[in-house]
Amino acid sequence: MADQNNQEVIDALKAELKDANDIALTALRSNGELGVVINFLENSFSCEDHVAVGQQVFKAMRAFGLKSSIQLRVESGAINIADEEFEGQEQEFKFLSRLRSKGRLFDFGEHTMVNYDHISLLIRNMPVDQPDKHGRIKDNVAVLLNGAEARLKAIEEATQADRVKSEFLANMSHELRTPMHAILSFSNMGSSRLEKVDRSKLGHYFERIRIGGNRLLLLLNDLLDLSKLESGKMEFIMEKHDLMEVIQRAIQEVETLCWDKDLKIVVLPAAESTVTYFDEEKMLQVVINLLSNAIKFTPNGKQITLFFDKDLSAKPKGQHLSTDLMTLVVDDQGLGIPPGEEAAIFDKFIQSSKTKTGAGGTGLGLSIVQEIIHAHNGYIIATGNPDGGARFRVSLPLVERAGIIEQPEDEPEEVQYSEDSELF
């Protein structure tokens, strides 16, 4: 009975607190300038595009009794909006563009400009003859623009997420459709011409079907690997190995790809130990994927260089580690990576803007590499090669002992194939 009474008291207090909060908010909304800011913040966060946010800013400015112009910055350029047409409007927007990177706030008599990354606001009639009001409005406008910047940033991030999802699905569909189309086309040709073509021609059809099937198998296994890695359900058997030996195995795996393009792979002698604990097969996959990527984008007759250098660590600056790192560097002589795209190339199905050449691959190789390295508590970064091309740096901890990251028993097995089996 006592517990019931206590709960009733608690519920009554909660209801009273909610009523008091509602009353306080109502009072604030009706409190002149501060109410304008609160109403703007509430309304702007339901806006779904840049222009809608801009319209809310104008509504707030009108409530303040101010005349204003806004420049909204989007991926495709700038959206310029003024609350009214006037002579010199074009020059005003040029002024906004010119000063956007010069600072956060400028005062020019009756004109005040407030800058953020996604929005700039120019007020044309600040009450300079009323210093107290002038100061209050500047403070309130700064808070208001801060909220507008936050909403615009959220809108852009949501748009980017939708675009990445659409690109992923489009690329996924393309990657699946291409080999499937080849399989169906050549199987149809074979069945329709079974009595009309010789065995060598049929053999060619079967070979193309096999190639298409292997490509589908590779894609499905890459997707399965990436799914396991991203969910933390991939098994890693950490044992002591020499990474230099793994590199030699990887080079043998990609040897025919190098012959086709007359490429040379050079491995420089290591000045320090290349022995540590890692999953040998997973690290082999890492080196093969990095070499395959380098081969894909390196012109015929050029060179790919691998070497170890602890001074080129991929560890982020300012991060402290008690464990030393071993760093492998893979340099190619291809097109390189445009500034600002170094992180994006590790995303699924993403290539840099310089390398969208349709050069093949599943588009998942570097994503898998990054996940494997992170699972080893290592680091990987991509940069430009000082001698031209791209440079990938992989840093692994030099450890004395390691354990096993176990995989749940109900995790699906990898697909197998055998010749005998079917604003701020």
Provide the residue-wise pLDDT of the chain in tens; the chain has 424 residues: 556 666 766 666 666 566 555 544 454 444 567 777 777 888 888 888 888 988 888 888 888 888 888 888 887 778 888 877 767 777 777 777 776 666 677 888 888 888 888 888 888 888 888 888 888 888 888 888 888 888 988 888 888 777 767 766 666 676 677 778 778 888 888 788 777 778 788 888 888 888 778 777 777 777 777 777 777 778 888 999 999 999 999 999 888 889 889 999 999 999 888 999 999 989 998 999 899 889 988 999 999 999 999 899 988 877 766 678 999 999 999 888 887 777 878 876 665 545 454 444 456 788 889 999 998 999 999 998 888 889 999 999 988 765 544 444 444 444 444 444 332 2
Strand pairing report for 264-267 and 303-308: parallel
Interatomic CA distance for residues 46 and 155, integer angstroms: 10
Find out whether 277 and 399 touch, Cβ atoms under 8 Å. Answer: yes
Contact 314, 330 (CB under 8 A): no
CATH number of 28-159: 3.30.450.40
Nearest to 209 by CA among 198, 217, 221: 217
State the Cα–Cα distance between residues 157 and 151, nearest whole angstrom. 10
DSSP of 251-301 = HHHTHHHHHHHT-EEEEPPPSS--EEEE-HHHHHHHHHHHHHHHHHHSPTT
Domain 167-228 in this protein, CATH class: mainly alpha
CA distance 22 to 28: 10
Residue 55, class by beta-carbon neighbours within 10 Å (0-12 exposed, 13-18 middle, 19+ buried)? middle
Q: 56-89: buried (b, 16+ CB within 10 Å) or exposed (e) per residue?
A: bbbebbeebebbbbbbbbeeeeeebbbbeeeeee
155 CB-near residues (< 8 Å, 6+ apart):
47, 48, 49, 50, 53
Beta bridge pairs of residue 276: 241
Q: What is the pLDDT of residue 125?
A: 87
Spatial neighbors of 405 by CB under 8 A, at least 6 apart, are: 234, 235, 236, 238, 375
Residue 118: what residue type? H
* pTM, two decimal places: 0.54
CATH architecture of the domain formed by 237-403 = 2-Layer Sandwich (3.30)
Question: Distance between CA 12 and CA 202 in Å, rounded?
Answer: 83
DSSP state of 197: S
Burial of 122 (0-12, 13-18, 19+ CB in 10 A): buried
Q: Is 319 helix (H, G, I), strand (E, B) or coil?
A: coil
Token pair listed for 248: 């030699």
Closest CA relative to residue 266, chosen from 307, 235, 225? 307
